[in-house]
């Protein structure tokens, strides 16, 4: 039987797409926000939370006195009726917002942080002045929490987009905004991106911008004749552009804004006891908090008032999350430091203070946590060791292969490079190629481009410019 084709309807195209995205719970968001704070800022955050949430209270009394006070409170509650102005408390109930969802602007307005303002907060404040929306501020916080000591982004933007459930382009847009703030070049993924942002912000030398944007490989490899041929510029224009680029900062975080006092308060202390090391999280400066028992009692006292119970439950839930987040912060910092000690046996046990190659991923895998979590723990925090106070970020470095088949920290290589440059003949400074050959002869398997990167991180200009400084 023939089938009339005009009666055949086209079949719709079916497709399946499986997506796995991570969505952070309010508790996780809170934990991440507290984890990023150092000790002085954590104290400020706790005091702020005590002000806005009556279900949270301090525990400053010794246990015996605390129990005595609780007994006295129970007697008073049996004889006296607890009175609350619920109209005052519930008057703005419809506008009640969980503390996590508030922007940093409100917190800074209520609790001004001057000398204790962190580097990340300074950048966030600049974004707020540019009327950046709340979503982009959240993205910015995530980006800033994953910067290294030089100010470079340590993870791929795609990972941040997956974590926050936003498009990767949104991450890139926020990065672009941060790169053009003060200091410029921050949150760049590489040297080219860092220097280009600085050159565009300063807008003083169009030739330099063109070189950094379109001919960076030629610039990095000193192919100056090729650059002049491609750009059609003169030798004088090229020299001016080179001079301009040489004045840019390959480590933008070193230009961070100062706010008066640089007070270092370690978050962690490491004590040596019988050949072993014990990690202690410093808690002496921060108020100890707990959920208010009187608020717990209100749930039973006001069973017939739905609005009251809903308000109380929200406050109690917020208080519980906050108390748990503070405790989680303590445990996470302790676990990270204990893992660092395990990964650096020579530094802690051999006595030579030599750091082994170690990256954030090593610690993250050891304690089974996300790399971004380890980054937050180590960012802007210090540890009190028996012999010094040390920035947690300085424990991390990439490994460099040696001729013997071993591996040394890039920190060790940088120290050696610094010694060579400082001891060189200032009339005949050593070029990157010769520096590479010298370090290779000493057993370090390292490429010339890596030497160039390390030299820039150490803030040494090229050999030509070092000779001019004499």
Taking only the tens place, the pLDDT of each residue in 421-454 is 888 888 788 888 899 888 888 888 888 888 888 8
Give the percent of the chain with pLDDT over 70: 75
Whether 109 has a pLDDT exceeding 50, the answer reads no
Phi then psi dihedrals of residue 271, to 5 deg = -110, 140
Residue of 426 and 142 predicted with greater confidence: 142
Q: What is the mean pLDDT of residues 110-119?
A: 46
Nearest CA to 24 out of 143, 165, 138 is that of: 165
Mean pLDDT across the chain: 76
pLDDT of 222 reads 77
Give the H or E element holding residue 127: helix 119-129
End-to-end CA distance of the chain: 98
Q: Give the confidence band of 10 by pLDDT, cuts at 50, 70, 90.
A: low
Nearest CA to 410 out of 90, 83, 148 is that of: 148
Give the percent of the chain with pLDDT over 90: 11
pLDDT of 307 reads 75
Give the H or E element holding residue 273: strand 268-273
Q: Give the confidence band of 196 by pLDDT, cuts at 50, 70, 90.
A: very high
Q: Where are the domains of the chain?
A: 24-76+261-396, 118-258, 399-468
* 464, 465, 467, 469 alpha-carbon torsion, rounded to 10°: 170
pTM: 0.50
pLDDT of 8 reads 52
Q: What is the mean pLDDT of residues 53-72?
A: 59
Q: Give the confidence band of 261 by pLDDT, cuts at 50, 70, 90.
A: very low
CATH number of the structural domain 399-468: 1.10.10.60
């Amino acid at each position: 039987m023939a089938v009339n084709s005009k009666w055949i309807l086209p079949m719709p195209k079916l497709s399946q797409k499986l997506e796995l995205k991570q969505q952070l719970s309010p508790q996780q968001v809170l934990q991440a926000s507290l984890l990023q704070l150092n000790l002085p800022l954590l104290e400020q955050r706790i005091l702020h939370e005590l002000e806005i949430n009556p279900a949270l209270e301090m525990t400053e009394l010794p246990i015996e006195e605390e129990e005595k006070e609780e007994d006295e409170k129970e007697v008073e509650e049996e004889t006296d009726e607890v009175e609350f102005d619920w109209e005052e408390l519930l008057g703005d109930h419809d506008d009640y917002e969980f503390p996590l969802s508030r922007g940093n602007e409100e917190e800074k307005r209520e609790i001004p942080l001057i000398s204790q303002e962190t580097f990340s907060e300074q950048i966030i404040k600049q974004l707020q002045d540019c009327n950046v929306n709340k979503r982009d501020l959240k993205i910015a916080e995530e980006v800033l929490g994953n910067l290294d000591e030089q100010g470079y982004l340590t993870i791929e933007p795609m990972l941040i987009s997956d974590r926050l459930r936003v498009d990767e382009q949104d991450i890139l847009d926020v990065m672009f905004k941060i790169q053009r703030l003060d200091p410029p070049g921050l949150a760049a993924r590489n040297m080219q991106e860092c220097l280009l942002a600085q050159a565009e912000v300063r807008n003083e030398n169009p030739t330099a911008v063109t070189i950094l944007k379109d001919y960076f490989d030629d610039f990095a490899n000193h192919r100056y004749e090729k650059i002049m041929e491609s750009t059609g510029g003169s030798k004088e224009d090229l020299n001016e552009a080179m001079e301009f680029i040489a004045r840019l900062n390959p480590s933008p975080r070193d230009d961070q804004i100062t706010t008066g006092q640089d007070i270092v308060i370690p978050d962690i202390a490491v004590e040596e006891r019988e050949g072993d090391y014990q990690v202690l999280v410093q808690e002496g400066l921060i108020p100890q908090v707990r959920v208010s028992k009187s608020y717990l009692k209100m749930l039973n006292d006001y069973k017939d008032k739905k609005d009251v119970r809903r308000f109380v439950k929200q406050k109690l839930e917020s208080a519980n999350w906050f108390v748990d987040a503070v405790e989680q912060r303590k445990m996470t910092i302790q676990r990270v430091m204990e893992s660092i000690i395990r990964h650096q046996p020579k530094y802690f046990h051999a006595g030579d203070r030599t750091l082994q190659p170690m990256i954030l991923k090593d610690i993250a895998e050891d304690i089974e946590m996300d790399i971004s979590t380890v980054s937050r723990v180590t960012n802007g925090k210090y540890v009190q060791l028996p012999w010094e106070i040390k920035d947690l970020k300085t424990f991390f470095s990439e490994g460099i292969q040696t001729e013997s088949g071993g591996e040394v920290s890039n920190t060790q290589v940088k120290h050696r490079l610094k010694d060579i440059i400082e001891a060189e003949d200032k009339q005949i400074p050593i070029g990157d190629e010769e520096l590479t050959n010298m370090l290779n002869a000493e057993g370090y398997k390292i490429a010339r481009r890596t030497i160039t990167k390390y030299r820039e991180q150490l803030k040494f200009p090229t050999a030509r410019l070092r000779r001019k400084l004499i």
